[in-house]
A and B are shown apart, each in its own frame.
Chain A
């Protein structure tokens, strides 16, 4: 994962300079950095949730890439989305079993279908919802809160926040919580399902997706993660 932070830094720089196609290239590379570094580790030995979340987080960076292509007006958004979907199919088939991870993988597929202008997003989100309902039926509020902050879940939440802020709005936290005010996987998904396409369309029309300050992985994070793997 040595180059994850380097790729993300470069992507953010290009995005800040409104060079969105180049930003898309580097977000893609960051996505590969996550997928490669975690995938071979997961295949060779089970080291738990962190790496599975980081594996799926790689696909969130593919969402950033596809969105940058969309904002740049490039039709490559569709290809990037299709590549992500094909990768997710393989991950589901071979690497993840827990309903939360399966649900997240379908959520990401729904997102990619929306960003890439592909059909089938509703079915993907419906499958994700089924999986998340199963998680929520068997977990208490504290456990559900933990899931929402796992790698992958955390990033996909930040992604919809960045899209929303990109059109000058803000995410209403109440939209992401259940009737008792606790974080909810299903509510978060429904919010994103209903908003994402409209947000990407607006950013595409504007041709700008402003960069907001946010904490990204640093070179130190990369080294720490490599130490965990080794």
Chain B
């Protein structure tokens, strides 16, 4: 059980997703996610777990496209709990720079994303909390993003690829607050396209 194995399984999941086999892809993304969770030596920032969270969001999205609602919500609930646990975890987070302090905001973003993708309810509170963290810590630039935010950006790109039909490159806004607003404006609209899944219009 290793991070490398998680990446191998992710490759299989990606291939299944591109073939439109969403239920099976969802399974493989889940397996890959749990590989990452199991390979995450405890740390204050939870870098490895954040890759697992990206994979779990992809699993959740695939189950949503496949119409497997119970599994979609199950993965979303796991993602929310995992994020809450990282926030609550009392391990050293060093170096303790202004930039590093804003990293914890990523876990509030993850919760918001899981709530939206899993159709669990209202994500506003969690995105608001993320924004508050970024505002208090100087609103860092996204070009300096660490592992957790890179995973969040990657999931958004995947969701865009799955749920919209053109190949426009996603341009990540310059600061974390601008990014968050960008996502809040677009992710719900993207997810509305799930209603069209029965018509076979998603990629």
Contact = CB atoms under 8 A, between A and B. Distances in A.
B31 A39 contact: yes
Nearest to A36: B34
A143 B31 CA distance: 33
A86 B40 CA distance: 20
Given A33-B1, A89-B74, A83 B38 contact: no
Contact of A36 (B1, B27, B70, B74): B1
A39 B70 CA distance: 18
A86 B1 contact: no
A2 B90 contact: no
Interface stretch (B81-89, B98-106, B137-145, B152-160): B81-89
A78 B35 CA distance: 23
Given A76-B88, A83-B85, A86-B74, A32 B1 contact: yes
Main SS of chain B's interface residues?
helix
A94 B63 CA distance: 14
B45 interface: no
Interface residues of A, number: 29
Main SS of chain A's interface residues?
helix
Contact of A74 (B9, B84, B90): B90
B77 interface: yes
Contacts of A83: 78, 81-82, 85
A79 interface: yes
A43 B40 CA distance: 23
A26 B42 CA distance: 8
Contact of A33 (B38, B70, B78, B89): B38
B1 A1 contact: yes
Given A36-B31, A40-B31, A29 B77 contact: no
Interface of A: 1-3, 21-22, 25-26, 29, 32-33, 35-37, 39-40, 43, 74-76, 79-80, 82-83, 86-87, 89-90, 93-94
5 contacts: A43-B27, A76-B88, A79-B85, A86-B74, A89-B74
